[in-house]
Amino acid sequence: MQWQNSGARYGVPAQTLHWGIALLLLILFPLGWYMTGLPLGLEKFEAYQLHKSLGLVVLSVMLLRLAWRWRNPPPPAPAGLPSWMRLAATFTHFALYGTLFLQVGLGIAMSFKANAPIAFFDLFSLPNPLTPDKKVAEWLSTAHSWTGNAIVSLIALHAGAALWHHFVRRDDVLRRMLPFGANARNSSYPPTKTD
């Protein structure tokens, strides 16, 4: 089992954190869209609390990811990739990190401004340090909704690019993030004399 990222593939912790976030978002988005349409009542309240708790889990996993990435730089882009594509990939990755942190921050601030509780899986509640303000809460809710749309677009771009690498360019970019992806179908790293 490979723990550290290498030049050719991601290690197990980086893969687990990546697919963990993907799974959490796969639950958080449909839950967010579903819960806002529910009528007022216990089901809505519980759905909101679950959404908030999972959002806080996303925050913890993202912080872990950043810490791990800082100690474990990702494998480089495959050799021969045009520089605008490298730039686009770097931009998408940073934008994903940025918008995810922003989304969690907006969610927390919105709940505080609405004076709504944030209970983490019924284990503890976050104390509200902000003065409630309904107007600001509404504004933050709109921002949370738009940032959600931006994240969905970035994920579509990110996943589309991974599939393009795998099926069209036929390199190892997707494989090196997969737990059981055999290494180097068409490895371009480390660069060879022919690259």
Provide the pairing of β-strand 124-125 with 119-120. antiparallel
Does the protein bind ligand HEM through residue 141 (CB under 6 A)? yes
Q: State how far the Cα of 78 lies from the Cα of 58, in Å rounded to an integer.
A: 29
**Candidate residues 148, 172, 173, 176; the one interacting with ligand HEM per rule CB under 6 A:** 148
Distance in angstroms between the alpha carbons of the first and the last residue of the chain: 29
Question: Alpha carbon of 132 to those of 103, 104, 119, 145: distances in Å?
Answer: 19, 18, 17, 20
172 burial (CB, 10 Å; 0-12 / 13-18 / 19+) is: buried
Does the protein bind ligand HEM through residue 51 (CB under 6 A)? yes
Stretch that binds ligand HEM, among 75-83, 90-98, 138-146, 177-185 (CB under 6 A): 138-146
Does the protein bind ligand HEM through residue 55 (CB under 6 A)? yes
**Candidate residues 145, 153, 183, 186; the one interacting with ligand HEM per rule CB under 6 A:** 145
Does the protein bind ligand HEM through residue 56 (CB under 6 A)? yes
**Candidate residues 9, 32, 77, 172; the one interacting with ligand HEM per rule CB under 6 A:** 32
Minimum Å gap between C-beta 32 and ligand HEM is: 3
What are the structure tokens assigned to 20, written together? 């963990």
* Amino acid identity for residue 31 in this structure: L
Identity of the residue, 58 or 173, whose beta carbon is nearer to ligand HEM in the bound complex: 58
Residue 189 DSSP SS3: coil
Residues between 102 and 121 that touch ligand HEM (CB under 6 A): 103-104, 107-108, 110-111, 118
Stretch that binds ligand HEM, among 1-9, 30-38, 160-168, 183-191 (CB under 6 A): 30-38
Identity of the residue, 125 or 183, whose beta carbon is nearer to ligand HEM in the bound complex: 125
CA angle at residue 134 from 124 to 50, to 5 degrees? Answer: 30
Q: How far is CA 66 from the centre of its chain?
A: 11
Q: State how far the Cα of 181 lies from the Cα of 190, in Å rounded to an integer.
A: 18
Does the protein bind ligand HEM through residue 100 (CB under 6 A)? yes
Binding site for ligand HEM (CB under 6 A): 25, 28-29, 32-33, 36, 48, 51-52, 55-56, 58, 100, 103-104, 107-108, 110-111, 118, 141, 144-145, 148, 151
